[in-house]
């Protein structure tokens, strides 16, 4: 008799509950997970402060049992935390947008919740203190259902401002945290090179240092800025449309085409909105009407994107934000670079769809520590060197052109800003630059 096998289904939630899948989600192996926690929480803190116009103050404290990152931002609501625990879906205010923002994976906080669970091989804990509440989130793996299970216990606390996130580090993985020290502290310092307004304090097992901001009023493209229609292809535009339609279905709040148009740069006023709506025949039309049976009306969505572009100005690359030679020079000097031999280059690419700003600097070091690379994209420090290739040229070739080897005592700074950045992996650790930089 032929056996009829049962058809099983495995929840996608398990993507956050095994070492293999979590490595794929973060783009990094377990040895680098302390660095992933640092990067993602620093990104979140900086974005939160900038959204409300606050000069960021971030304090990092690492001991044998935890990683704590605290900021002076507006705080996280209990509702937002509950949304982050929905592992079957991405939760992000930026994930579908083309934007020069620090990150838009939509699952970063989920990976942070999952890391201590996977490392402990049993249970893990993350404690969030914000908006007068302390939320203790405990996770475990339901081995029968093959899915992560998280519970929250909340209690009032006296702290009303800012957010503190404590990742309780499992004893079984203490060696991973110890071995990450050098790179962990380097990345924390890298954030101060990339962000002139950042006031940073670090305490690693009692080893303390502080970095003062060079310019608390420094301006860059803020997370709250409206996106530009010029940054979208038809495919990415339809993806954004789809995200808004899906949100309308989930909330029961219908979004109109007019409300959608209002989200783009140059269309805050009703007059500008009316021009686009009249040109595309979308006055009093619901956004959901641009799709039928799960398929977009290509002609109507293309016409809407074209009207948005033709009735607005592209964003000049220089307006995305520049870190500036003076700040970079000061920071590289603090890292041991020689100010006398410091060299700085800025390259601006004016492309309406992909405006880009590159800043590259070199400073010889007064020690024998070898090459030190400070790299980042959109003001976020990289866990690994993000610039794997420049066109078809490797990073090593770029250094050779400047007669630099990986053994030379030189600090190399490379940073790129762009609203349209293509990463090779989910961990945002590799990106292609334009040729000629």
Tokens 């040109």 belong to 279
Burial class of 11 by CB neighbour count within 10 A (0 to 12, 13 to 18, 19+): middle
Domain 317-433 in CATH 3.40.50.2020? The answer is no
* C-alpha 263, offset from chain centre: 21
| pLDDT computed for residue 406 by the predictor | 73
| pLDDT computed for residue 149 by the predictor | 87
Q: Distances from the Cα of 30 to the Cαs of 168, 180, 425, in angstroms?
A: 15, 10, 16
Task: Name which residue leads in pLDDT, 31 or 11.
Answer: 31
Tokens 């040895």 belong to 31
| pLDDT for 69 beyond 60 | yes
Q: Distances from the Cα of 255 to the Cαs of 242, 271, 303, 346, in angstroms?
A: 11, 19, 19, 42
196-215 in b/e form (b: 16+ CB < 10 A) is bbbbbbbebeeeeeebebbe
Strands (DSSP E) along 253-392, which ranges? 291-292, 295-296, 343-349, 356-364, 372-377, 380-381, 389-390
Instruction: Lowest mean pLDDT of 7-11, 23-27, 82-86, 172-176, name the range.
Output: 7-11
| pLDDT for 78 beyond 70 | yes
- Nearest one of 396, 398, 380, 91 to 250, comparing CA atoms: 91
Residues 163-179 have a mean pLDDT of 96
| pLDDT for 389 beyond 70 | no
| pLDDT computed for residue 308 by the predictor | 97
- Going by pLDDT thresholds of 50, 70 and 90, the confidence category of residue 70 is very high
CA distance 338 to 329: 9
How confident is the model over 125-138, as pLDDT tens digits? 999 999 999 999 99
Residues 320-346 have a mean pLDDT of 94
| pLDDT computed for residue 422 by the predictor | 58
How confident is the model over 80-120, as pLDDT tens digits? 888 777 765 554 556 678 888 876 544 678 889 999 999 99
Q: What are phi and psi of 170, to 5 degrees?
A: -65, 140
Domain 12-211 in CATH 3.30.565.10? The answer is yes
Task: Name which residue leads in pLDDT, 96 or 305.
Answer: 305
| pLDDT for 385 beyond 50 | yes
Q: Cα torsion for 225, 236, 389, 327, to the nearest 10°?
A: 0
Specify the pairing of strand 410-417 against strand 372-377: parallel
| pLDDT computed for residue 6 by the predictor | 44
Q: Which two tokens stand for residue 156?
A: 């009032």
Mean residue pLDDT across the chain: 86
| pLDDT computed for residue 437 by the predictor | 46
Residues 404-415 have a mean pLDDT of 86
| The model's pTM | 0.89
- Nearest one of 327, 398, 409 to 372, comparing CA atoms: 409
CA distance 407 to 372: 9
Alpha helices per DSSP H over 229-381: 234-251, 257-261, 270-280, 298-310, 325-334
CA distance 245 to 206: 50
- Beta bridge pairs of residue 376: 381, 415
CA distance 127 to 115: 13
CA distance 304 to 191: 39
| pLDDT computed for residue 127 by the predictor | 97
Instruction: Lowest mean pLDDT of 4-18, 22-36, 343-357, name the range.
Output: 4-18
| pLDDT computed for residue 11 by the predictor | 54
| pLDDT computed for residue 226 by the predictor | 93
| pLDDT for 216 beyond 70 | yes
The residue ranges of every structural domain in the chain are: 12-211, 229-310, 317-433
- Beta bridge pairs of residue 390: 393, 433
């Amino acid at each position: 008799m032929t056996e009829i096998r049962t058809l099983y289904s495995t929840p996608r939630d398990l993507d956050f509950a095994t070492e293999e899948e979590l490595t794929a989600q973060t783009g990094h192996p377990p040895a680098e997970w302390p660095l992933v926690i640092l990067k993602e929480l620093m990104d979140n803190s900086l974005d939160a402060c900038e959204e409300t116009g606050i000069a960021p103050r971030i304090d990092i404290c690492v001991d044998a049992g935890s990683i704590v990152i605290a900021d002076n931002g507006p705080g996280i609501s209990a509702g937002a935390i509950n949304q982050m625990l929905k592992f079957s879906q991405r939760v992000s205010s930026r994930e579908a947008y083309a934007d020069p923002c620090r990150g838009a994976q939509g699952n970063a906080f989920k990976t942070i919740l999952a890391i201590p669970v996977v490392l402990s091989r049993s249970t893990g804990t993350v404690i969030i203190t914000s908006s007068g509440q302390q939320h203790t989130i405990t996770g475990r793996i339901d081995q029968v259902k093959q899915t992560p299970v998280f519970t929250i216990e909340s209690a009032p606390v006296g702290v009303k401002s800012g957010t503190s996130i404590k990742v309780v580090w499992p004893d079984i993985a203490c060696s991973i945290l110890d071995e990450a020290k050098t790179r962990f502290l380097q990345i924390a310092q890298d954030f101060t090179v990339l962000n002139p307004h950042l006031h940073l304090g670090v305490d690693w097992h009692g080893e303390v240092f502080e970095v003062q901001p060079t310019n608390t009023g420094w301006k860059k493209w803020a997370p709250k800025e409206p996106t530009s229609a010029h940054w979208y292809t038809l495919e990415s535009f339809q993806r954004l449309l789809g995200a808004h339609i899906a949100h309308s279905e989930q909330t029961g709040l219908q979004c109109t085409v007019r409300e959608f148009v209002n989200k783009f740069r140059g269309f805050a006023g009703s007059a500008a909105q009316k021009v686009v709506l009249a040109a595309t025949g979308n006055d009093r039309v619901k956004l959901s009407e641009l799709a039928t049976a799960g398929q977009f009306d290509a002609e109507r969505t293309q016409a809407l994107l074209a009207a948005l572009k033709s009735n607005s100005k592209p964003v000049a690359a220089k307006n995305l934000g520049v870190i500036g030679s003076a700040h970079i020079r000061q920071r590289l000097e603090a890292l041991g670079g020689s100010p006398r031999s410091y060299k700085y280059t800025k390259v601006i690419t004016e492309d309406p769809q992909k405006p880009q700003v590159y800043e590259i600097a070199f400073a010889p070091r007064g020690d024998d520590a070898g090459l030190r690379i400070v790299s980042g994209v959109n003001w976020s420090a990289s866990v690994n060197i993000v610039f794997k290739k420049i066109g078809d040229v490797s990073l090593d070739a770029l250094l050779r052109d400047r007669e630099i080897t990986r053994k030379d005592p030189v600090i190399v700074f490379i940073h790129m800003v762009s609203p349209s950045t293509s990463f090779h992996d989910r961990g945002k650790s590799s990106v292609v630059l334009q040729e000629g930089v």
